[in-house]
């Protein structure tokens, strides 16, 4: 089968290979990957700025159909449509594992990062990680379940948003646009900020319900916030860009006793004005990955049909076209970029 693999440490050490896939282990299922999405983490792995353990198949966002089941698998069968949590390995014994926070376990290995992932025609996965898809959810839409579960964790578990709150979503990429959608479900007013490079994404954000969009290179974010909130300031910042200037801008417009949730990850260290956190008694919190609860709630949200996720999908490529796909992703030419992993070139 075809698989996109990082064959050694280093920058751009990716290639499409023909590999064999063994039968699934007793606790695993074998899945035909339908669609798989490029994540910012994959870009970091491509540029060797993220911890990884090659050789391995890349990719962790996907939807699939079960084709084989291991001997001990009881709750799934051939033909089931599924999505999956990304915990390939974890100790199961530490305090965090006992709390169900496997993503924070020191021994955790995520597939697509430290074990074989899903930029391939087929993959073997732990059955305990799987979630069954409701019948009306499309496979394209389901391929966005993993990033959505991260946003659900950040917004619904880690943050507190009340109807009538004003929320600043910083960064209009796929994660930011999902955060916008969920904030609107709570009845919040949303200001979406980005730069001139994000013009098409900001426009999509307006279509998805943003009350105000701000190009921070052309407008004064502080002035816009002051006018919109009548001087009260932002109640909740959802920082999705992973940009130092965006962090400081968000801190400056956040009201006293407000909440700042850092969702975007940084490529390198940033300088942050910590005095704002102290003087305003801001609740500043980090957020990493997702939980089993956020996965279950994600599947419920997919089933509800309240989130127009397919509007985020701008490109679909074959695995043969992976270099073009990564170029589009790096240059932010679209929104969510998927591989149709079983399609032939030109037929995606």
The per-residue pLDDT for range 148-182, each reduced to its tens digit, is 999 999 999 999 999 999 999 999 999 999 999 99
pLDDT number for residue 268: 81
- Please state, for a pLDDT cut of 90, what percent of the chain lies above it: 92
**Where would I find the H helices in the chain?**
40-46, 95-98, 139-142, 145-152, 174-185, 199-207, 221-229, 244-253, 274-279, 292-304, 322-330
Of 56, 57, 58, 52, nearest to 38 (Cα)?
58
pLDDT number for residue 344: 66
Worst-scoring range by mean pLDDT, 51-60, 291-300, 338-347?
Answer: 338-347
What average pLDDT score do residues 110-122 get?
Answer: 96
What average pLDDT score do residues 99-115 get?
Answer: 93
- pLDDT of 208 > 80? The answer is yes
Residue 348 confidence class, pLDDT cut points 50, 70, 90: very low
- pLDDT of 346 > 80? The answer is no
CATH hierarchy code of domain 2-148+290-340: 3.90.180.10
How is domain 159-286 classified at the CATH fold level?
A: Rossmann fold (3.40.50)
- pLDDT of 263 > 80? The answer is yes
CA distance 121 to 233: 49
The per-residue pLDDT for range 243-253, each reduced to its tens digit, is 999 999 999 99
- pLDDT of 267 > 90? The answer is no
pLDDT number for residue 304: 96
The per-residue pLDDT for range 181-194, each reduced to its tens digit, is 999 999 999 999 99
Of 24, 20, 23, 27, nearest to 5 (Cα)?
20
CA distance 91 to 105: 7
Which residue reads 């993220």 in tokens? 50
pTM of the complete model: 0.94
CA distance 129 to 84: 5
Name the residue ranges covered by the structural domains of the chain: 2-148+290-340, 159-286
Of 246, 277, 275, 276, nearest to 263 (Cα)?
246
The per-residue pLDDT for range 60-100, each reduced to its tens digit, is 999 999 999 999 999 999 999 999 999 999 999 999 999 88
The DSSP 8-state label assigned to residue 218 in this structure reads T
- pLDDT of 231 > 90? The answer is yes
Pairing of strands 28-37, 56-57: unpaired
CA distance 154 to 9: 31
Residue 345 confidence class, pLDDT cut points 50, 70, 90: low
The per-residue pLDDT for range 122-138, each reduced to its tens digit, is 999 999 999 999 999 99
The DSSP 8-state label assigned to residue 25 in this structure reads P
């Amino acid at each position: 089968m075809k698989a996109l693999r990082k064959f050694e440490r280093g920058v751009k050490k990716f290639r499409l290979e023909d590999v064999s896939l063994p039968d699934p282990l007793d606790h695993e299922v074998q899945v035909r990957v339908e669609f798989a999405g490029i994540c910012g983490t994959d870009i970091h792995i491509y540029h060797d700025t993220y911890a990884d353990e090659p050789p391995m198949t890349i990719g962790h966002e996907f939807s699939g159909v079960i084709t084989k089941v291991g001997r001990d698998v009881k709750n799934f069968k051939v033909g089931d449509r599924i999505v999956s949590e990304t915990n390939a390995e974890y100790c199961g014994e530490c305090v965090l594992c006992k709390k169900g926070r496997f993503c924070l376990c020191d021994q955790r290995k995520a597939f697509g990062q430290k074990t074989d992932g899903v930029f391939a025609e087929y993959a073997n996965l732990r059955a305990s990680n799987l979630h069954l898809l409701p019948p009306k959810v499309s496979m394209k839409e389901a391929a966005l379940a993993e990033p959505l579960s991260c946003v659900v964790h950040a917004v619904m578990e880690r943050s507190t948003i009340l109807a009538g709150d004003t929320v600043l979503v910083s960064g209009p990429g796929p994660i930011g646009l999902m955060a916008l959608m969920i904030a609107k479900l709570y009845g919040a007013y949303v200001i979406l900020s980005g730069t001139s490079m994000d013009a098409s994404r900001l426009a999509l954000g307006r279509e998805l319900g943003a009350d105000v969009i701000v190009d921070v290179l052309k407008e004064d974010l502080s002035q816009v916030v002051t006018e919109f909130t009548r001087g009260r300031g932002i109640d909740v910042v959802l920082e999705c860009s992973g940009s130092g200037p965006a962090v400081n801008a968000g801190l400056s417009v956040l009201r006293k006793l407000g909440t700042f949730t850092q969702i975007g990850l940084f490529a390198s260290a940033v300088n942050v004005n910590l005095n704002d956190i102290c003087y305003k008694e801001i609740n500043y919190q980090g957020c990493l990955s997702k939980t089993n609860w956020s996965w279950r709630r994600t599947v419920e949200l997919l089933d509800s049909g309240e989130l127009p996720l397919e509007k985020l999908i701008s490109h679909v490529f074959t695995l043969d076209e992976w270099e073009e796909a990564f170029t589009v992703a790096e240059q932010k030419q679209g929104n969510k970029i998927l591989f149709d992993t079983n399609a032939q070139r030109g037929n995606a």
